[in-house]
Amino acid sequence: MGPMSSVFWLGNRCMLGLGACSQTTVNLLREKECSKEVPKVKVMLGYRYDKDKFKTSGLTPMNSERVRPDRIKECPVQMEAELPGYYEMMSSLLGEAKGFTLALEVKVKRTYVEEKLRLPGHENRINPDAWRPMIMSFQHFVWVVERRAGEVHVGRY
């Protein structure tokens, strides 16, 4: 369990933006595997370092099937992933700022999603009207609460 600055998805790949010196980054670079959960809102609030995060948070560890790190039972979306690569960001800066941030590429090996979040008729799609994640927008956490305005087809004009 650890904080993350940013994340974006391309197919079954995920790019994580993490501080190069955070314990989360150190662990991921060492182990080359992780479990990624998309927690309920209250889980995201009040982060602080804790060696036994499961005990302190009252969350339940679950064995992963394809990676060593445990998953979090209470999270409605859980992913098991491996680390194929990482990339130094801000490498052109001088001094302490150089390499302060890393982009870590993780390949999702297995995904678990609560049934109520699945798009009806699709095994591998999330219903955007059922999922209300917390996202970061311009360094502020916001909750998605309204329905979609309409359907957008990327690449069509």
pLDDT tens track for 6-25 = 777 766 777 787 777 788 88
Whether residue 36 is predicted with pLDDT greater than 90 in this model: the reply is no
Instruction: Note the pTM of the prediction, 2 decimals.
Output: 0.63
| Confidence at 86, pLDDT banded by 50, 70, 90 | confident
Whether residue 47 is predicted with pLDDT greater than 80 in this model: the reply is no
Domains and CATH numbers, the chain: 7-113 (2.30.110.10), 119-156 (no CATH)
User: What pLDDT was estimated at residue 157?
Assistant: 44
Whether residue 60 is predicted with pLDDT greater than 90 in this model: the reply is yes
Q: What Cα–Cα distance (Å) separates residue 66 from each residue in 63, 71, 101, 102, 138?
A: 9, 11, 28, 25, 34
Region 108-125 average pLDDT: 90
